[in-house]
Amino acid sequence: MKHLITIFILLISIGLYGQSGKISGQIFGDYFYNISRDSEIQSLSNVILKDKKDLNGFHLRRVYFTYDYDISKIFSTRFRIEADNSITASNKMAVAVKDIYLKWVNIISGSDIIIGLQPTPAFQISESVWGYRPLEKTIMDLRGAVSSRDIGISLKGKLNSSGSLNYWFMFGNNSSNSTEMDKYKRLYGHIYLKPSDNTHITIYSDIKFKPSFTENSVTLSNNDYTSSVLAGYTAKEYAAGVEGFLTLTENGFKDVGTETTLYKTKSALGISAFGLYNFSDITSAVLRYDYYDPNTASGYTGDVRKFIIISFVYRPDEAVSIMPNVLIETYESVNEKNYDSSLTGRITFSYRFL
């Protein structure tokens, strides 16, 4: 952490005295109170609101500091560090490198190549349409379907002169921002359609290569295939969107309901619908509903999760937001046993500087 801070101080000094560097950042967190929890919440899997009832306090969830530098007209670079709620051994916020990449602008007409630790193509567009990352991640990020970052190489750009049809392909380690420890990689593909300034459609797919395993002297593959679709509309007064994803895992689970136990393809399904309305330049309302089923097979019940966000937004300044909000998570019953919903109230704050 000390080394990262030292590096960033040096970059700030360069930015202050240089002509091409730019310093920016964003901070967001909350005061939260866990109003309701089931007494057996810790026994459930795939839970978002899992902390204990009555736990409350101030919480810094993300701190971003970014340095962008234009090396020349065709080369640019970004260095970003992030502090988040991943607690270290000393019970303090963890600091890590979020981005560090080199961009070669217009290497092909209308296209850039990017090398290094960088965003993946999975949900950058959906996050911009959702627009409220300080409230929560998009569903693919929240459910861990795809990491927001990977180390690799990508090519992205326009497929037509108007910019209404765009692409983004990436080949990465599939190790997020960690050191690569195996030979297995991930291929990402993304098509972004923008038929108007307000309309956003994305079609995404990736292949996550994983090691095979052996069962009864038979070698079985275990790769993941994730696909998603987003349709969104953004206007000055309102915005709305729907995003769905499906992850197929080869031989992902044993079908114990048959006479002969067989491995079958596991399907994880997630759907998110959200909308916001701007009453004025300084006040808005936000609503989001998520549905997640980690295994859609008929014999596997009790694991569906529903997640709801309701928020009022107050912006005293363009770069500052104060957002009272409520988080609700519900759980499918297991063997006729019902679980109480989780309820958390928060006052979320967010501010950024350029």
Could you give the domains of the chain? Answer: 2-353 (2.40.160.10)
Q: What is the pLDDT of residue 12?
A: 57
Query: What value does the CA radius of gyration of the chain take, rounded to a whole number of Å?
Result: 22
Q: What is the pLDDT of residue 216?
A: 85
Residues facing 63 on adjacent strands: 27, 83
HSE toward the beta carbon, residue 283, CA cutoff 13 A: 3
CB 197 within 8 A of CB 232: no
Low pLDDT (below 70) residues in the chain: 1-20, 86-89, 256-261
Tell me the two tokens of residue 128: 């911009």
Task: Give the pairing of strands 75-87 and 224-234.
Answer: unpaired
Q: How far is the C-alpha of 85 from the C-alpha of 57, rounded, in Å?
A: 13
Q: What is the pLDDT of residue 19?
A: 54
Q: What is the pLDDT of residue 336?
A: 85
CB 41 within 8 A of CB 10: no
Tell me the two tokens of residue 119: 């965003």
By the 10 Å C-beta count (0-12 exposed, 13-18 middle, 19+ buried), 325 is classed as buried
Tracing tokens 């519900």 back to the chain, one arrives at: 330
Residues 6+ apart with CB under 8 A from 212: 219, 220, 221, 222
* Other CB atoms within 10 A of residue 100 CB: 16
Tracing tokens 């736990």 back to the chain, one arrives at: 55
3-state secondary structure labels for all residues of the chain: CHHHHHHHHHHHHHHHHCCCCEEEEEEEEEEEEEEECCCCHHHCCCCCCCCCCCCEEEEEEEEEEEEEEECCCCEEEEEEEEEEEEECCCCCEEEEEEEEEEEEEEEECCEEEEEEEEECCCCHHHHHHHCCCCCCCCHHHHCCCCCCEEEEEEEEEECCCCCCEEEEEEEECCCCCCCCCCCCCEEEEEEEECCCCCEEEEEEEEEECCCCEEECCEEECCCEEEEEEEEEEECCCEEEEEEEEEEEEEEEEEECCCCCCEEEEEEEEEEEEEEEEECCCCEEEEEEEEEEECCCCCCCCCCCEEEEEEEEEEEEECCEEEEEEEEEEEECCECCECCCCEEEEEEEEEEEEC
By the 10 Å C-beta count (0-12 exposed, 13-18 middle, 19+ buried), 154 is classed as buried
Q: How far is the C-alpha of 303 from the C-alpha of 44, rounded, in Å?
A: 8
